[in-house]
Every structure is written in C-alpha cells, then in structure tokens.
Structure 1
Amino acid sequence: MVVDDQTSMRAMIRRALQDLGFKDVRDKASAPEALSAVRNDRVHLIISDYNMPEMDGLQFLQNVRADPVIGKTVFIMLTGSSDREVVQKAAALGVNNYVVKPFAPAALKEKIERVFGELT
C-alpha cells in the first residue's frame, strides 16, 4: 500500500514496486483512507509519506501499530526532510525503515530488502 497525497509520487512508487516484482500494489491519497483499506484488506507492506494533510505519517504509523490485527505490518516512512526529530519519533513508534525524498528506485529496493531480505 502506497500512501501519499501527491498523485505523481504514488505513481512513481507504484511503478518502482512493480518493477521490483510486487504484483498487487495499491495506493491511497490519504492516511485515513489507507488505514480503513488496510484494516479491511490486509497488506504486507505500507510505504507512507510523512507530510500529509488530515493525518501525517507519524499519526498513521501510530494507528497501524496500535491495531492488534495490522500492527505488525511492515511500515516504511517517506520524508522530504532528514529531520532527526521525525526520524527519531518514527523509530520510537516502530517504523521498519525510512527513505528520504527524493530517492532512486534502487534506494527503495535496498530499504525493502533490509526488512524482507533479498528480492528475487
């Protein structure tokens, strides 16, 4: 599940994931939408932007981790800044990894492989 309020960013990440071999890549424009969708139809990986209206990436991560059903879902945070405070808060909330934007697909692949192991 790719979660980002920017259509172009969702499309770019979705394409990168498909190129890496992910078959069922879904996306949502907001964290509340994504939270509802993930609760109804579980996913193995959430890639979420930090800076979004309504509910930011940290609040989204907190909601995912607090849910007994989806709480263990792998969560990678995207951030446009390398702000240490955001990274530290995400780590404290249980983020599996994070990627600083802009990034190359190879960087995303590396972050996913650190969590899941080598992609074939």
Structure 2
Amino acid sequence: MVVDDQTSMRAMIRRTLQDLGFRDVRDKADAAEALDDVRVNRVHLIISDYNMPDMDGLQFLQEVRKDAVIGKTVFIMLTASAEKEIVQKAAEMGVNNYVVKPFTPAALKEKIERVFGALT
C-alpha cells in the first residue's frame, strides 16, 4: 500500500514496486482511507508519506501499530527532510525504515531489502 497525497509520487512508487516484483500494489491519497483498506485487505508493506493533511504519517503509523491484526505490517516512512525529531519519533513508534525525498528507485529498493532481505 502506497500512501501519499501527491498523485505523481504514488505513481512513481507503485511503478517501482511493480518493477521490483511486488504484485497487487494499491495506493491511497489519504491515510484514513488507507487504514480502512489495509484493515480489510491486508498488505505486506506500507510505504507512507509523513506530511499529509488530516492524518500525517506518524498518526497513521500509530494507528497501524496499535491494531492487533495489522500491527506487524512492514511500514516505511517517506519524509521530505531528515528531521531528527520525526525520524526518532517514527523509530520509537516502530517504523521499519524511512526514505528521504527525493529518492531514486534504487534507494527505495535498498530500504525495502533492509527489511525483507534481497529481492529477486
């Protein structure tokens, strides 16, 4: 599940994931909508932007982690800056990894492989 309020960013990440071999890649522009979706249709990976209206990435991460069913889902946070406070808070809340925008497909692959192991 790719969650970002920017259409172009969602499309780029979705294409990258598909190129890496991920199947059934879904995306949402809104964290609350994504949360509802992953509760019904479980996923193996959530890649979420930090800076979104209504529910930011940290709030989304918090909601995912406190859910007994989806709480262990791999969660990678995207942020436009490597603000130490945001990164620390995300780590405390159980984020699996984070990616600083802008990033390349290779950088995203490397972050995913740190969590899942080598992708074939």
Fold in common (TM above 0.5): yes
Instruction: Report deviation, 1:23.
Output: 1.3
State TM-score, norm by structure 1.
Answer: 0.99
Residue in 2 that maps onto 1:47: 47
Aligned pairs for 1:85-100 (under 5 A) are: 85-100=85-100
What is the rounded CA distance, in whole Å, between the counterparts of 2:95 and 2:66 in structure 1?
13
Aligned partner of 2:117: which letter? G
Structure 1: 4+ residue segments shifted above 4 A = none
Counterparts of 1:71 and 1:19, CA distance in 2: 27
Deviation at 1:28, TM superposition (A): 0.3
Equivalenced residues, count: 120
Letter of the 2:106 counterpart: A
Cα distance in 1 for partners of 2:92, 2:30 equals: 22
Cα distance in 2 for residues equivalent to 1:36 and 1:23: 20
Give 3-state SS (helix, strand or coil) of 2:42's partner.
coil
Code of the aligned partner of 2:24: D
Aligned to 2:59: 59
* Identical-residue share of aligned pairs (%): 82
Give ranges in structure 1 of 5+ residues lacking alignment: none
Tell me what 1:30 maps to. 30
Query: Cα deviation per residue 1:81-118 (whole Å; 9 max; x = unaligned)?
Result: 11000000000000000000000000000000000000
Query: Which residue number corresponds to residue 14 of structure 1?
Result: 14
Two-structure CA RMSD over aligned residues (Å)? 0.3
- The TM-score with structure 2 as length reference comes to 0.99
Alpha-carbon distance in 1 for matches of 2:109, 2:42? 21
Q: In structure 2, the residue corresponding to 1:119 is in which secondary structure?
A: coil
Distance (whole Å) between structure 2 residues aligned to residue 18 and residue 102 of structure 1: 19
Residue identity in the other structure for 1:4: D
Q: Secondary structure at the match of 2:70?
A: coil
- The runs of 5 or more residues in structure 2 that have no matched partner are none
